[in-house]
């Protein structure tokens, strides 16, 4: 019997997820199919049980990453600390997980980026920013600073992590270039740069001592990453993170290893699409 997997969200016609997961299933010889579930917000409540019954596993995206939590039996530590779910296992107990953390962590490892003892700057205070903060903390960051356009949201993030024993500093968005100058690790967790030539930072803040990570994956090499690379910084792109977070979802659903050959095959498929 073909196992069904799906992406639950709204207005998600642009998603790359079916290309990624259907490639993974094929390479692992798994009889499975990945579908897109574009569900209007006022229909979620009465359709969710049927979706859980029919689908072996789900990814979750905008606008359901937080709303879905009340339908679940359990959260993994990653989902609990990030406060958002992007992957669900539906069999036996309904377990919510957040794979952005592992996606970021494996991408850092692939690029030999060491976080231990480093000063880290996070731009943004949404779900991706929270995943980054948790990764930096559990890999020994010396300091984590968050700059967000809306300061109150950054303060909410600080309180959320403080309750879990993780210290974070908040600095005004207007001072982000100054903080970037003092940071060794910088991650963009805003959509700035998506299909545009904008960058959240002044190119002069980069040098060869820094690592710059972009969650944005369209284009793969954003202006931020190109500016940073041109000044000798190490860069980690959002497409690598996207692939690893998806491979972590497949591991979580099907208990399959995250393999380099599968990463490479998925990367090849996506390079033609972004
Ligand atoms: N590569 C991957 O695997 C991966 C995984 C997850 C997310 N992402 C990408 O990461 C980005 C953030 O995702 P998310 O889930 O964290 O989104 P989110 O929860 O909606 O948070 C977005 C954040 O970006 C800030 N922001 C939005 N537009 C801005 C602008 N014009 N100027 C300054 N700040 C702005 C928001 O600030 P306010 O609080 O002021 O609104 C907020 O802090 C998206 O582009 C998403 O596609 C990539």
Q: From the CB of 126, is ligand 1 less than 6 Å away?
A: yes
Share of the chain above pLDDT 70, in %: 100
Q: Where are the beta strands (DSSP E) in the chain?
A: 3-9, 32-38, 57-60, 74-75, 87-89, 95-97, 119-123, 143-148, 169-172, 185-188, 211-214, 234-236
* Residue range 96-110, pLDDT digits in tens: 999 999 999 999 999
Find the 71 Cα to ligand 1 centroid distance in Å: 25
Tell me what pLDDT residue 182 has: 98
Specify the residue with its C-alpha closest to ligand 1, atom 24: 190
Residue 104 within a domain: no
Decide: helix, strand or coil at residue 157.
helix
Residue 247 within a domain: yes
190/248 same-domain check: no
Is the pLDDT at 77 greater than 90, yes or no?
Answer: yes
Residue 246 and residue 17 in contact, taking contact as beta carbons nearer than 8 Å? yes
**Sheet holding 143-148: strands in order across?**
169-172, 143-148, 119-123, 185-188, 211-214, 234-236
Decide: helix, strand or coil at residue 255.
coil
Tokens coding 66: 């937080």
User: What is the domain count for the chain?
Assistant: 2
Q: Which of 29-33, 118-122, 204-208, 270-274 has the lowest mean pLDDT?
A: 270-274
Q: In a mutational test of the pocket of ligand 1, which residue from 14, 215, 236 has the highest number of ligand atoms less than 8 Å from its CB?
A: 215
Residue 75 within a domain: yes
What is Dmax (Cα atoms) for the chain?
A: 57
Average pLDDT of span 36-47: 97
Average pLDDT of span 120-137: 97
Average pLDDT of span 114-119: 98
CATH number of domain containing 224: 3.40.50.720
Predicted TM-score (pTM) of this structure: 0.97
Average pLDDT of span 216-227: 97
Residue 79 and residue 96 in contact, taking contact as beta carbons nearer than 8 Å? yes
Residue 55 within a domain: yes
What is the average pLDDT value for the chain, to the nearest integer?
A: 97
| From 65, 89, 210, 223, the catalytic residue | 65
Tell me what pLDDT residue 272 has: 87
Is the pLDDT at 153 greater than 90, yes or no?
Answer: yes
Residue 71 within a domain: yes
152/217 same-domain check: yes
Per-residue confidence band for 254, with pLDDT thresholds at 50, 70 and 90? very high
Tokens coding 44: 């979620």
12/34 same-domain check: yes
162 is known as an active-site residue: no
Average pLDDT of span 250-270: 97
89/196 same-domain check: no
Tell me what pLDDT residue 14 has: 87
Q: Counting atoms of ligand 1 from 1, which one is nearest the CA of 62?
A: 15
Domain that holds residue 59: 3-98+240-271
* Residue 215 CA: distances (Å) to CA of 54, 107, 124, 221, 252: 31, 11, 11, 11, 22
């Amino acid at each position: 019997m073909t196992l069904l997997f799906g992406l639950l969200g709204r207005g998600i016609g642009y998603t790359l997820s079916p290309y990624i997961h259907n490639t993974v299933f094929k390479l692992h010889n798994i009889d499975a199919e990945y579908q897109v579930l574009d569900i209007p917000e006022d229909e979620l409540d009465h359709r969710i049980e049927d979706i859980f019954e029919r689908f072996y596993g789900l990814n979750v995206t905008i606008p359901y990453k937080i709303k879905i939590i009340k339908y679940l039996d359990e959260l993994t530590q990653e989902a609990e600390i990030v406060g958002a779910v992007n992957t669900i296992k539906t069999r036996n107990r309904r377990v919510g997980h957040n794979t952005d953390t592992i996606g970021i962590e494996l991408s850092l490892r692939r690029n030999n980026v060491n976080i231990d003892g480093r000063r880290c700057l996070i731009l943004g205070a949404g779900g991706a920013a929270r995943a980054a903060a948790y990764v930096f903390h559990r890999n020994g960051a010396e300091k984590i600073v968050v700059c967000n356009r809306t300061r109150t949201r950054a303060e909410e993030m600080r309180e959320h992590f403080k309750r879990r024993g993780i210290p974070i500093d908040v600095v005004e968005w207007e001072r982000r270039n100054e903080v970037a100058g003092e940071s060794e690790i910088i991650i963009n967790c805003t959509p700035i740069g998506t299909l545009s030539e904008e960058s959240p930072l002044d190119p002069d803040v980069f040098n060869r001592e820094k690592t710059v990570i972009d969650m944005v994956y369209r284009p793969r090499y954003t202006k931020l990453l190109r500016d940073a690379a041109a000044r000798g910084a190490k860069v980690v792109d959002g497409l690598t993170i996207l692939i690893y977070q998806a491979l972590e979802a497949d591991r979580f659903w099907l208990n399959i290893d995250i393999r380099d050959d599968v990463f490479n095959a998925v990367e090849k498929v996506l390079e033609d699409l972004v």
